[in-house]
Amino acid sequence: MSLSAIKVTQIREIPTPGGNVLHALKGSEDSFQGFGEAYFSWIESGYIKAWKKHNKMVMNLIVPVGNVKFVFFDSEHNLFSEFIIGESNYSRITVPSGLWFGFQGMNSPKNLILNISSILHDPNEADRLELSMIKYDWGVV
């Protein structure tokens, strides 16, 4: 799968008295590829979770709290693509299956990720590698 298949969509944050409304994904959008489940993951500032590749799942990643750097790796062409989304850039990243990815928490103390996935979680559906197996400079947070 090519990195060009990743889609980043600015999503609406609607100011309302007492707290804003944060959109995530509508069934009418092109990014919606079916619904398996939605789940949240916390990641602490500076912590890196990598590397994983879904073989069937399409992910829709949203960061409503904090900021997270997502890194995607095209192993066929040895190319990386990096996106930072969250409170400073409220967006959704739609990721097709077949790409290696990892992510790093950017804000202290922690950051919250929402994944609206196209299929139910299946531990046998994804491949994993240790962080050191794909050479990438994550920098310092």
Confidence band for 141, pLDDT divided at 50, 70 and 90: low
End-to-end CA distance of the chain: 29
Residue 130, pLDDT score: 97
More confident residue, 4 or 1: 4
pLDDT reading at 27 higher than 90: no
Residue 128, pLDDT score: 97
Per-residue pLDDT reduced to its tens digit, 41-98: 999 999 999 999 999 999 999 999 999 999 999 998 999 999 999 999 999 999 999 9
Topology of 3-131 in CATH?
Jelly Rolls (2.60.120)
Per-residue pLDDT reduced to its tens digit, 122-138: 989 999 999 999 999 99
| Sequence-separated contacts (24+) of 130-139 with Cβ below 8 Å | 130/51, 131/48, 131/50, 131/51, 131/102, 133/51, 134/50, 134/51, 134/73, 134/75, 134/100, 134/102, 136/50, 136/71, 136/73, 136/80, 136/102, 138/48, 138/69, 138/71, 138/104
Q: How far apart are CA 41 and CA 61, in angstroms?
A: 10
Q: What is the pTM of this model?
A: 0.92
